[in-house]
A and B are shown apart, each in its own frame.
Chain A
């Protein structure tokens, strides 16, 4: 009897199993977040304004910041050019403005604070506060570091603090979490920071730059028909767990991959980098007619989100606003550009130097003799057949070796291979990866394959997803799944998303096992393309935390295997990824965006190798190939040994056509074209321009120009000075 009881107890508690946190701590990945920003201490500063209403507040060699004590509007003087950037349109500019009331007040405010009630009915109704709100009190402190302004709204018992600092490149704006006070029945919802900074009237020369796809321009001189909303999207994508984000039928779009926006006005431009708390902020751009008659672009900081929740499966969902505030420091850095730098090329350069200065971008690539071909090989996946799960093999390890051999035989000198579908039963039971699928040859075949590849100089990474976990596994949703915004473990059609610590632990264990087999790296899916808050009842684990863990994991993988790579390449992985697959290359087809430019490629080229869509899976064969050339991407193909039709009933049925011998010739041909640009592999892109409707020129460090013509479907290379 006692024995049975003990056995039962053992079975329930499972002492031989380690908890996720134990497994995570074993990886040695550190997940400590930086210390929060401090508020300035000191005496109140009460300046007297000059004749124009402004008082000098901060100054360095290059810039001076003047503030209006009455409205807290400010101006930044660029001493070199004499140009003044202002937080709001000037009085004269507002003379022709047609909006009134609240919108007019917003136009004159350096912030727009949206709040909700936490008591009574209508807790989702949003109200706004700005610097024109009656009863607002401001308190300024001047500090060696900068200027601090505290805004207090006694009627709402709300307070927050903004800090301005001047740097060598421009202006830093901070909203420290420590400065927020919610003492009454009102709670902060969003805070628009400097909503009209540098706002430009319609029809002028210039554009707004938004991080749509590879980069999007909204031109001032372009007619924009029928805009009902502006551009307003969350950096790194919306919260997946919030049902409200899925209620619209449309909105399939590219998630914002880099926290940057900018504006060009005549000969002057700014680039704003969201340096802290960027993952919880929207980039918002408005065109005339939406909120005012100006073009403006700014960051809207998210403190709470509205979400849908259901009391039961049958009840219709209700709206609510999350209780706990996203308590993150927010910081933006505005960098000012003028003259020949005042355009999107200059903006890309400014962002690249920001990344380099802060150590977020890895070292420049070494020049190569030949560009690498990124060869993705699909091993296979599972299907349900004859009432059970069956693995369908499309390429065994042996066949993969033959494919690589065939390509090398055709003269492709540099290949980097990514192997997909190697896990036991493919994507069925995501937790179970080992032993490596026997239908592909199992572990002995992997070893042979790896030895062979090492000999041939082809590094092979294994691709795997450590974020999504299916319910066929023994995964515990209760302890290890991300909690959605409604507080419950998030599950979608039987799929959970693992908490970052679980992901890291599972991945680190996989790294250790793959190391023994000689695998040269992991290509992560999910990391670098999806970021979530974890709404634990004990407190929100923010996206900030997830970023830190993922960063540690990428580092662990590089140290363990030699290489880590990701899809999409959201900016937080740039320091730790050896390659980005599927870098955003296309716009989201917004009405508002007039032109798509290679901003992000310009930032990355010469530092992180990247590819766009696979050569055999393109929607538009010619245009996508030419875009890859124009944007400096590398060639990639996704192949199988057998007909991909074999996979039609498996989750890998997106491989419309991948049989290697069908594509062999095309791969060789296309590789030749990409390889004609091999000299440019390690160079920065220094220029990009539209020559005509169909022709675009990309310029590299050494002066080489690549001119792509979408009309003739061809490209030409003009050698630079050094050749």
Chain B
């Protein structure tokens, strides 16, 4: 994803030169994440830089924004805590006075709602506690318990819960957070990450014996990078390095992760996490080099900002070390490369959109409406608006609008709800008419068939039509009576044009499935469907099946000729034809509540198709049943081999093509 986005950035850099590309003037881009399309899209700034403040920092290693919006910065090099006002002015220095309160290389700071300042005094191997005036109060050293053994007590980050229990991250400890009660007694470890169960480890376990295993380095859980606490007492851990897996975990008092080890977008290089009053999460990430905002479930919403170790610009971070949010939603980030604390404030647009999203998350759709409208006035490309307003309209019973908005946002859940309502209303209004017309239709079919038959008796088709018609009708017959049907096919010399006609029919059905399936069961932008690819992927297995089946069975004394295999394989597709028609029809009138019918139809169709191919193999080649199964299995294996072979050939020839193409370019433009 990262690579894709950086490519996109390059592309956009090109676009700056194209007509009127009014690029934002901020030194970074802002984008929003669309979970329905799994990609990032550009949007106007949500946050703008509001300065980078320095209080003569040596190396700001952590930052905490207290409830009164004072910003506490742990300065590792200057051995002190700096307290800044919400305007970035230095208010006070803590821990620089000689005496028992003197700090040494502090790497973490936490301020309780009562304004007690807890410092992870890493150099002194203790937790130092100061009161709100910066006077040293007490300290906690390594708890006296045999459970900790010889481990060094080097606290680097910490939080303190309402009861005064400290959760301390020790330097590169993989055991999780060490818990100390207010008396300084050890209460065990908390919230360790899960050890990484990689494929490689699993393979090793499978292959290696006990002795060899013991020599392998154990898969240790990743150490927690940083930790934060929200207003409800949930504890959030940030863990870097797992491709975003469990990058942010939301732990309850029992240590259970509310996010279930979820993979976080832009979380591979997470530095720190912060939570705002609405419950949105903010992280700063060294891998995507962005500041990211997530909703309450850890779903990515926005990314902005930039990281550049040589930065000399506001808003571009050098090496971020900690993040905090104040009550005005300003983001504070400590930066040890520029030795400053950066501040970002919400733009007017950012306020509207995040307010709207907050109310949306609370289910207060009605209240969110004016905010969504403010967002919509400034941006009609942001898909979130359509989802949000869609929900509002759903609640206002404006289902038609809701339907189109949900479709614009690719929100199938919302679409389904609106659709259900609209269908309900329609049925209520048109029930009688519907039933009447259904009955009329049935009668028409019944009498119509009789009439057609009677007509055909009087005016029969020309004799030359007889065989072709029978062949075509056999497509239906073979569905119910596969054995007899296939015998008929084997015996008859079916003209090639009939086979071709049937094949076209199948492709037509496939096209219908692509373009006529209801939105709920095919939620894509139809203009973006790559038809060639779709058809190729559809035809490829079928074509390889024919080749593999013929090759295998002719070796295995099968009787079938190539033509017969093709014919049979076309007729074997009959379930696809006959099941697709009701499926497509149903998909246009079913909501997600009835999705099970469609899924069931699809499953039955698949099983039926498999059965047809097996029967076809048996009949065409005149095999016994067991022989058929065996040869079919070999055919499948052959198919896989052909694909592998094709893949290799393609890969090699692509390299060759690439070589010649480069050569051509070299000659032509260099």
Contact = CB atoms under 8 A, between A and B. Distances in A.
Interface string A549-584: 000000000000000000100000000000001100
Interface string B44-78: 11001100111000000000000000000000000
Interface stretch (B275-283, B312-320, B642-650): B312-320
B55 to A, nearest CB: 9
B314 A589 contact: yes
Given A225-B340, A588-B27, A656-B43, A619 B347 contact: yes
A376 B21 CA distance: 12
Of the four ranges (under 10, 10 to 19, 20 to 34, 35 or more), the interface on chain A belongs to 35 or more
A399 interface: no
Interface string A463-503: 11101100000000110010000011101110100000000
Contact of A250 (B18, B19, B313): B313
Given A525-B17, A588-B27, A645 B313 contact: no
Contacts of A662: 377
Interface stretch (B378-386, B426-434, B451-459): B378-386
Nearest to B338: A226
Contacts of B530: 387
B19 A427 contact: yes
A444 interface: no
A83 interface: no
Interface stretch (B233-241, B249-257, B303-311, B436-444): B303-311
A587 B61 CA distance: 29
A590 B54 contact: no
Contact of A590 (B10, B308, B313, B377): B313
A226 B340 contact: yes
A590 B25 contact: no
A672 B48 CA distance: 29
A329 interface: no
A253 B377 contact: no
B380 A619 contact: no
A589 to B, nearest CB: 4
B515 to A, nearest CB: 10
A638 interface: yes
Contact of A591 (B20, B52, B349, B532): B52
A610 to B, nearest CB: 14
B214 to A, nearest CB: 40
Contacts of A654: 15, 20-23, 42
- Size category, B interface: 35 or more
B24 interface: yes
A248 B313 CA distance: 13
A304 B44 CA distance: 38
Contact of B669 (A223, A253, A383, A478): A478
Contacts, number: 176
A16 interface: no
A455 interface: no
A228 interface: yes
A254 B18 CA distance: 17
B22 A591 contact: no
Given A589-B27, A619-B26, A253 B54 contact: no
A644 B44 CA distance: 15
B62 to A, nearest CB: 18
Contacts of B338: 225-226, 228, 591
B26 A638 contact: no
A716 to B, nearest CB: 23
A564 B412 CA distance: 50
Interface in A228-276: 228-229, 248-254
Contacts of B14: 468, 492-493, 495
B377 A464 contact: no
A70 B306 CA distance: 50
A236 B329 CA distance: 38
A215 to B, nearest CB: 15
A248 to B, nearest CB: 6
Contact of B308 (A249, A488, A585, A620): A249
Interface centre among A376, A492, A651 (most CB of B within 10 A): A651
B345 to A, nearest CB: 11
A386 B515 CA distance: 11
Given A387-B530, A589-B27, A619-B45, A463 B312 contact: no
A387 B19 CA distance: 25
Given A252-B27, A656-B379, A229 B348 contact: no
A474 to B, nearest CB: 13
A253 B13 CA distance: 12
A529 to B, nearest CB: 8
A590 B315 CA distance: 9
Interface string B1-45: 000000100110011011111111111110000000000001111
A386 to B, nearest CB: 5
B28 A645 contact: no
Contacts of B527: 383, 385-386, 390
B247 interface: no
A653 B42 contact: yes
B18 A465 contact: yes
Interface string B278-310: 000000000001000000000000000011101
Contacts of A657: 376-380
Interface in A356-396: 376, 378, 383-387, 390
A216 to B, nearest CB: 12
Contacts of B42: 653-654
Given A465-B18, A654-B21, A252 B28 contact: yes
A614 B24 CA distance: 11
Name which of B20, B44, B54, B349 has the most chain A CB atoms within 10 A of its CB. B20
B10 A492 contact: yes
Interface in B220-254: none
A592 interface: yes
B531 interface: yes
A530 B17 CA distance: 8
Contacts of B339: 225-226
Given A228-B312, A477-B668, A645-B380, 15 more contacts: A225-B340, A226-B52, A226-B340, A250-B316, A252-B28, A463-B20, A493-B7, A588-B313, A589-B314, A590-B313, A590-B314, A619-B45, A648-B381, A656-B379, A657-B380
Interface of B: 7, 10-11, 14-15, 17-29, 42-45, 48-49, 52-54, 289, 306-308, 310-316, 338-340, 347-349, 376-382, 408, 526-532, 662, 668-670
Interface of A: 223, 225-229, 248-254, 313, 376, 378, 383-387, 390, 420-421, 427, 463-465, 467-468, 477-478, 481, 487-489, 491-493, 495, 525-526, 529-530, 567, 581-582, 585-586, 588-592, 613-614, 617, 619-622, 638, 643-645, 648-649, 651-654, 656-657, 659, 662
Closest 3 A/B residue pairs (Cβ): A250-B308, A225-B54, A385-B527
